[in-house]
Structure 1
Amino acid sequence: MPYTKKIPLKVKLLTLFFLFLINPGLITHHLHAHDVGNLEQSSLAELVDSTSPSVVTIAIKGTRKVQQNPFFDDPFFERFFGQPQPPREREFGGGGSGVIVDGIQGYIITNHHVIEKAEEIKVFLKDGGEYLAELIGSDPGTDIAVLKIDLSRTISQMSLGDSSLLRVGDFALAIGAPFGLSQTVTSGIISALGRPQMSSDGYGDFIQTDAAINPGNSGGALVDLQGQLIGINSAIYTRSGGNIGIGFAIPVNTVKNIMHQIIEFGSVKRGLLGVIISDINKDIAEQLGLEVETGALIQEVSPNSAAEEAGLLVGDVITSVNGEETETSSDLRNAIGLKRSGESVEIMILRENKAMTLSATLGELVAQEPVKADELNSLLAGAELADFIPEGKIKPQGVVILSVLPNSNAANARLKKGDIIWAVGNNSIANLDDFVAIIKDKNILVLRV
């Protein structure tokens, strides 16, 4: 047996120290020459140079109605004071960022909230080019909008990645124009995946990143180290209005789905299954004798819906859609809501603890067009209304308030966004048409919310 002498740890460390003094490059080479993609960790300049021309700055202009005292509407005011009535509209401006996804056709992705209610949209390229943009369509549910600019030449475009391949800890760059500044780049990592939407009526989930995202970054690019788009920056969690290291981006796979629908149809034709569902927990599973503690439990099936035609029943537990697990009711809502109406889906269910697979052709979730309450009755001025259709239902069951302007008549009446109006006085209402017929020309309104 050969003799081997153990070298003390102290001697080993001293040896490494002297080697470093003689040739520090032996260590620094291994520390700093590690490739990340095709780039060295010491600089991301080449990556920024290749991707940043595909990110644009967006500026918008528009007008909004200004709530004013009804006293000003009286012609006596003008006759007595000899002054014209104050203007009823006020100009507003804003902006954000966008990403060029087709440098030939001129298609640009941004957030819905960046261009919402804009009457004029301008796009500014990094090279100084300036264009008027056309809004092709937008989807409030996923906060995605598609713009188009007319091009006389081909411009840089961003290649689209695959957000299903992302892992927590992957490096990422956020590119945009925060606070009205020129294009800015920040770096960080993917902090979390599958974060839920911040609004109850949103679809899909978020990528969370600690790359600094600030106001003005909305609609900009979240890029991986291969130079591919992995998300559209959309929101931040903050109490001060600035970045605290918690930013959110819409996954690029969701962006691709919605973008193709908007380009093809001009809007999103969102799928509808027609069920009312709830989550399952341990207590519910025990009470119902279920052998699973995850899934979407069907509480109600709407008549003449895709679910009824597919043979789904109350008490069924939906466990997957097209092979993707649905552990919660939110998972099912996103799985169906991000698919196109008319699309067929394979639904795995448990019925009396026996697995079954059913096929359903999705109906269409009709987008509700908002109605300005000013046009219906001045007592409700400042509110926007629409039919209220509960999740999984086909017919409306009242009127929902979509928004309320501050200091408006509606705000003074203590109406709030999300309120559901189900009756006016003693008269029940089923939809917006019923509501309009009752409130027309009324001087006093008693709303049941």
Structure 2
Amino acid sequence: MGFFIVSILAGSLTLLGYQFFFENETNFHLPENTNLQTPIVPTSYNLSTTSETELPDFTLAAENTVHAVVHVKNVSTARVPRNIFEYHFGSGPERKAVRGMGSGVIISPDGLIVTNNHVIEGATEVEITLNNNEVYKAEVLGQAAENDLAVLKIEAENLEYLTFGDSNQLQLGEWVLAVGNPFNLTSTVTAGIVSAKARNLDPRKAGMQSFIQTDAAVNPGNSGGALVNKRGELIGINTAITSQTGSFIGYSFAIPSNNAKKIIEDIMEFGSVRKAVLGVRGVDLDGKNAKELNLDVTQGFYVGSVDENSGANEAGLKEGDIITQIDQIKIRKFADLTGYISTKNPGETVEVTYLRNNKQRETLVELSIFEVYKIEDLGIEVSNASASELKEFKAEYGVRINRVLSQRLASENLTGILITEINDTPVKNVKDVEDVISKKAFSDPLKVTFKGPSGKEKTYIFR
């Protein structure tokens, strides 16, 4: 009997102890917007309390995003001859073939869609499939090949669409979703974190690229799809992966939403992308060149020269200055600088924070329109020629060689003379030069016609 009473008392004490120590613990104040459903039991190690239910919930963001991401088919049409007669006269039945597939993002309820340019490049027609399997033919409103973006339009109404988020506010380690159609699998959602910002993938285009790097799984077919944050806001357009196999191995890249939005607006308003520039040239700082330049800082953009007639020159920036911030955005390298400036329009004003003689200064710079272009294969930089320069050279059109950057041409005294044709195509401005160079294969020779002050022309082929 005594043993029975002891057992009852022990059981009662255990129950009371549980209520006292554990049930009272549910009164802990939890952070707002958490979805914890179970009480937290503290350990004896005094570590911060965590739970699986604290992980981000992407269900709402995913549900909203998949309906705004479309399947894009690049369709080519060609006539297939059935006999020798049709072969010689280019006739025969018309057949369609799918050249490639990717993704796109609806950005307006009336059917405006953004995708990668490489997804629809060379298409005879573009076919769009919505998440509900409705199929539309799309009109290509504009393309920005250098930025790898294209704007499409389908005739539809009341579509679900994504709103743009602020990619400048992205933080390293922030959770993101990649939504697209990899391997022809529609409405695929993968999650990851922001691994890096302002990533430049092509050393030959230093500073011209500024990608968001993420470890969300992106594969062939995801191109042109959405990168969204936990709120379901569009913060990037998935564009590329780094892989030796062609498939995802942990690194994928997206065009930041702020850059994409500006490019889309330019295409819609002007038909092309208007680039803004500070008007400075230089190098990224690191430990090595900071030591060589006898500088105390190892991050920032070192100004090597300032373009004449640029906003930077008018604002007083000089060689030797170190740009550390623009509009409170930290500048650690040139890709940070160009990534932010690419979201701005020519004529806008930005606040530049810089170091001069180790003292911090600020100045306001009005951004100039981008009017120079570097021909990488030749190592020369060209700019638009003025009317007086064309008259001086007795030329109707041409671009002026602004600087010679290559050692092999340094002794040729080319600065100031004109280029009138590239690969037998007349070049009247910088945009013409960009267009011709962009169509050239890497291994193709470059045929350039120069014009001197006397008006005489000479053509050279560079291999």
TM-score by length of 2: 0.65
Aligned pair 1:50/2:64, yes or no?
yes
* Structure 1 residue 162 corresponds to structure 2 residue 186: no
Q: Measure, in 2, the Cα distance between the counterparts of 1:296 and 1:430.
A: 36
Residue 123 of structure 2 corresponds to residue 118 of structure 1: yes
Q: Work out whether residues 204 and 254 of structure 1, in 8 Å CA contact, stay in contact via their aligned partners in 2.
A: no
Query: Which shifted more, 137-146 or 319-328?
Result: 137-146
The 1:198/1:63 distance shift into structure 2, 3 A limit, reads: farther
Unpaired segments ≥5 residues, structure 1: 1-11, 17-26, 65-77, 371-384, 406-410, 440-445
Deviates more, 1:140-149 or 1:238-247: 140-149
1:252 alignment partner in structure 2: 257
Q: What's the C-alpha RMSD, in Å, of the aligned pairs?
A: 4.3
In the other structure, the counterpart of 1:173 is 177
Q: Compared with structure 1, are the counterparts of its residues 35 and 448 closer, same or farther at alpha carbon in structure 2 (3 Å cutoff)?
A: closer
Change (3 A) 1:347 1:49: closer
Is structure 2 residue 74 aligned with structure 1 residue 60? yes
What's the offset of the Cα at 1:252?
Answer: 2.4
Between structure 1 and structure 2, the one with the greater Rg is 2
Partner of 2:395: none
Residue identity matched to 1:402: S
Tell me the residue number matched to 2:105: 99
| 8 A Cα contact 2:192 2:217, kept in partner | no
Residues in 1 aligned to 2:222 and 2:400: alpha-carbon distance in whole angstroms: 39
- In structure 1, C-alpha distance between the alignment counterparts of 2:359 and 2:52, rounded to whole Å: 56
Change over 3 Å in CA distance of 1:332–1:191 after alignment to 2: closer
Supply the distance in 1 between the matched residues of 2:325 and 2:37 (Cα, whole angstroms).
50
> What's the offset of the Cα at 1:244?
1.9
The answer to whether the 8 A contact 1:96-1:219 is kept is: yes
Q: CA deviation at 1:206?
A: 2.6
Q: Within 5 Å, which residues of 2 pair with 1:285-434?
A: 285-366=290-371, 389=381, 395-396=400-401, 401-405=437-441, 414-415=443-444, 429=450
CA contact (8 A) 2:196 2:212 kept: yes
Deviations 1:87-122 (A, max 9, x none): 9xx98722310111111x321121122223334222
SS at match of 2:303: strand
- 1:58 Cα shift? 0.9
- Which residue of 191, 194, 205 maps to 2:197? 194
Whether the 8 Å CA contact 1:179–1:215 is kept in 2: the answer is yes
Shift of 1:350: 2.6
The amino acid that maps onto 1:52 is V
* Partners of 2:51 and 2:372 in 1: CA distance: 53
CA positional deviation for 1:308: 2.5
Q: Tell me the CA shift for residue 216 of structure 1.
A: 0.9
Q: CA deviation at 1:235?
A: 0.9
TM-score, normalised by the number of residues in structure 1 = 0.67
Contact 2:138-2:154 at 8 Å conserved across structures: yes
CA distance in structure 1 between the aligned counterparts of 2:284 and 2:120, rounded to whole angstroms: 35
Percent sequence identity is 35
Quick one: structure 1 residues 58 and 83, their matched pair in 2 at CA, closer, same or farther if it must change by over 3 Å?
Answer: closer
1:157-211 Cα distance to aligned partner (Å, 9 max, x none): 123333344444444332211223333233x321502151323437453333333
In the other structure, the counterpart of 1:7 is none
Paired residue for 1:34, among 49, 53, 66? 53
Question: What residue identity is the alignment partner of 1:267?
Answer: S
- Aligned equivalents of 1:291, 1:322: Cα separation in 2: 23
The amino acid that maps onto 1:197 is N
Q: CA separation of 1:83/1:134 partners in 2, compared to 1, >3 Å: closer, same or farther?
A: closer
Shift of 1:56: 0.4
Task: Give yes or no for contact 1:167–1:190 (8 Å, CA) kept in 2.
Answer: no
Residue 99 of structure 1 contacts residue 109 of structure 1 at CA under 8 Å; is this kept in 2?
yes
Look up the SS of the partner of 2:67 in the other structure. Answer: helix
Distance change in 2, residues 1:330/1:207 (3 Å): closer
Give 5+ residue unaligned stretches, structure 2: 1-13, 19-35, 40-49, 79-83, 386-398, 403-418, 423-432
The answer for the alignment partner of 1:206 in structure 2 is 211
